[in-house]
Amino acid sequence: MDPRLLRINLERVYERITEAAIRSGRTPAEITLVAVTKTHPPGVIAAAYELGIRDIGENRVEEALSKQPELPPDLRWHMIGHIQRRKARNVVGAFHLVHSVDSVRLAEELDKRARAAGVTVDVLLEVNVTGEESKYGFRTATAAEVDSFVAAAAGVAALPALRVQGLMTMAPFVDDPEETRPIFEAVRRLRERLRRELPAHQWDYLSMGMTNDFEVAIEEGATHVRIGTAIFGERPPPV
Ligand SMILES: *Cc1c(COP(=O)(O)O)cnc(C)c1O
């Protein structure tokens, strides 16, 4: 990709993050831009690195692991996609933050592998607040689902080699991003409840907002936005 275009895109994204933060009485320093580089080759990530990007989001374990050796060691890699349990051992030690812990069974597997490796893994719990069938994440569309999620969160938080840091969600794609606001609000309210009921743990991070809806997500409290298309352009459609 043309490095000049990359620079322009990145500057515009930073501007929009800053404006959304200021609009909602926050400061841009509270928000981490995770540049989502799935499908893009290491050269594109290297160009983003030159422009100051340090947080990289990938949604497939193998793809991330194959790119890592080719890039500077001070990049922080974020795992943002669904992880199959048999791949948990490859995740341990390879990511700065795992955003996509979407079941207690996956959490237990990560914990087991992390203990074996003698490391701790920072994780977010992925929630599906709308009950969309096609999405991963703990379902929290009804009061009963919220209760079971809180119980599950307590179980995950108690695993010795995982350190929970907050929540992640993916809103459905809609033409008017304003429509996603209730989803992000719901995630923030879930965090309030976790803070009340599980105060011994950290629930500070809210990973929410993508190209289509990151400004609304920031207005609703996002601490991490995961942005691909607005920085790197359209991805080739999946085959
Ligand atoms: C691809 C992806 C993103 C980035 O999507 P864009 O619309 O390109 O910004 C964010 N989060 C997850 C989980 C993704 O898979």
> Tens digits of per-residue pLDDT, 174-214?
999 999 999 999 999 999 999 999 999 999 999 999 999 99
226 CB under 6 A from ligand 1? yes
Of 230, 235, 234, 236, the closest CA to residue 10 belongs to 230
For 63, counting Cβ atoms within 10 Å of its Cβ (0-12 exposed, 13-18 middle, 19+ buried), the class is middle
- pLDDT at site 134: 86
Q: What percent of the chain has pLDDT over 90?
A: 95
Of 164, 209, 162, the closest CA to residue 191 belongs to 164
Mark 92-120 as b/e (b = at least 16 C-beta within 10 Å). beebebbbbbbbbebbbbbbebbeeeeee
pLDDT at 239 over 70: no
- pLDDT at site 24: 97
The pair of three-digit structure tokens given for residue 54, joined into one six-digit string: 């340090």
Cα 199 to ligand 1 centroid, rounded to whole Å: 30
- pLDDT at site 60: 98
Cα 115 to ligand 1 centroid, rounded to whole Å: 30
Q: What is the pTM of this model?
A: 0.97
Residues 49-84: tens digit of each pLDDT: 999 999 999 999 999 999 999 999 999 999 999 999
User: Is residue 146 within 8 Å of residue 140, measured between CB atoms?
Assistant: yes
Residues 122-180: tens digit of each pLDDT: 999 999 999 888 899 999 999 999 999 999 999 999 999 999 999 999 999 999 999 99
The pair of three-digit structure tokens given for residue 90, joined into one six-digit string: 């490859």
Residues 3-56: tens digit of each pLDDT: 899 999 999 999 999 999 999 999 999 999 999 999 999 999 999 999 999 999
pLDDT at 237 over 90: no
- pLDDT at site 50: 97
140 CB under 6 A from ligand 1? no
Q: Whose Cα sits closest to atom 11 in ligand 1?
A: 226
* Main-chain phi, psi angles of 99, to 5 degrees: -80, -20
What mean pLDDT comes out for the span 102-109?
Answer: 98
Q: What's the one-letter identity of residue 237? A: P
211 CB under 6 A from ligand 1? yes
Give the nearest ligand 1 atom to 34 CA. 10
Cα 194 to ligand 1 centroid, rounded to whole Å: 26
